[in-house]
Amino acid sequence: MSTTSDSTTTSTTTTSSSRHETAVVLPANLHARPAGQLARAAAAFTSAIQLEYADRTVNPTGVLAVMGLGATAGSSVTVRAEGHDAEQAVTALAEILAGAE
């Protein structure tokens, strides 16, 4: 006679997530070069990142999506992120936007 014992271990991981947001006034139109820089930078973060302009919201990891916002010099673009590295993501993308030429 054999007996089998099944034991299931359940682990719960608590993750701390944060949400950050900032608005940046563009010094120049949001064209291909800064859009590419934004896409590369956004892809390096694990947080969910969004860019918002004129009631449109896009994921900044896509160059065409960023360019499709049509943001122009003097307009305000909002950067939002939620996740472990949200603060760093918002800071990095805001710096790229603020330095767009």
Q: Which residues are catalytic?
A: 31
Give the confidence band of 84 by pLDDT, cuts at 50, 70, 90: very high
- Report whether pLDDT(61) > 60: yes
The CA radius of gyration of the chain, in Å to the nearest whole number, is: 20
Least confident window among 3-7, 37-41, 75-79: 3-7
- Report whether pLDDT(9) > 70: no
**What is the average per-residue pLDDT within 78-101?**
94
- Report whether pLDDT(14) > 80: no
For residue 45, what is the enclosing H or E element?
none
Pair 21, 95: CB distance under 8 Å: no
